[in-house]
């Protein structure tokens, strides 16, 4: 039921933003002998094979493809692997707030959304963002 709810939320988000979206679910306890692929509403869904966790499928996918992926996960290991593979991780909580803002704006609710500041406003030397922080800010603007 939760998987179906997530997929429906992502389908609605895709309709608004048009991004390619791939979701990986664990199939390691009840999956088949091979990874299973499904497409629903323009969303690509991958179920890991029996005995394999979704984390391994995610790592393999972002390592194999030379595209820069935006990886939504709150798992530190996945996030670290994403950075190491040239992709940008976004925490699940942050992505959820982005989706909620997108839904409100598309429904005609125009709250002011504050942009991420790239430095402090205090006295003294302004802090320069690290390469990872700059990459994350660029990625969040795309979402």
Task: Please report the DSSP string for 95-136 in residue order.
Answer: HHHHHHHHHHHHTT-----PPPPSS--SSSSPPPPPHHHHHH
Q: What does pLDDT average to over the chain?
A: 83
What's the pLDDT score for residue 122? 52
Please list, in sequence order, all residues whose beta carbon lies within 8 angstroms of the beta carbon of residue 38, skipping any fewer than 6 positions away. 44, 45, 47
Residues paired with 24 in a beta bridge: 46
Q: Find out whether 116 and 127 touch, Cβ atoms under 8 Å.
A: no
- Above pLDDT 70, what percent of the chain? 81
What's the pLDDT score for residue 125? 60
What's the pLDDT score for residue 1? 80
What's the pLDDT score for residue 120? 45
Strands, E assignment, the chain: 21-25, 36-40, 43-47, 70-72, 88-90
Answer yes or no: is pLDDT of 61 > 60.
yes
pLDDT interval class at 21 (50, 70, 90): very high
Interior/surface letters 5-34, b for 16+ CB within 10 angstroms, e for the rest? eebeebeebeeeeeeebebbbebbeebeee
Q: Find out whether 87 and 71 touch, Cβ atoms under 8 Å.
A: yes
What's the pLDDT score for residue 56? 95
**pLDDT per residue over 62-113, tens digit each?**
998 777 899 999 999 999 999 999 999 999 999 999 888 876 666 665 554 4
């Amino acid at each position: 039921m939760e998987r179906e709810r997530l997929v429906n939320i992502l389908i609605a988000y895709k309709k608004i933003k048009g991004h390619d979206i791939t979701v990986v679910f664990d199939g390691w306890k009840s999956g088949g002998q091979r990874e299973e692929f499904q497409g629903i509403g323009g969303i690509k869904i991958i179920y890991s094979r029996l005995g394999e966790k979704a984390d391994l499928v995610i790592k393999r996918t972002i390592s194999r493809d030379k595209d820069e992926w935006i990886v939504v996960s709150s798992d530190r290991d996945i996030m670290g692997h994403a950075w190491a593979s040239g992709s940008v991780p976004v925490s699940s909580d942050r992505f959820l707030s982005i989706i909620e803002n997108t839904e409100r704006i598309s429904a005609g609710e125009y709250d002011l959304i504050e942009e991420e500041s790239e430095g402090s406003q205090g006295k003294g030397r302004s802090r320069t963002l690290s390469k990872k922080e700059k990459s994350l800010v660029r990625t969040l603007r795309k979402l």
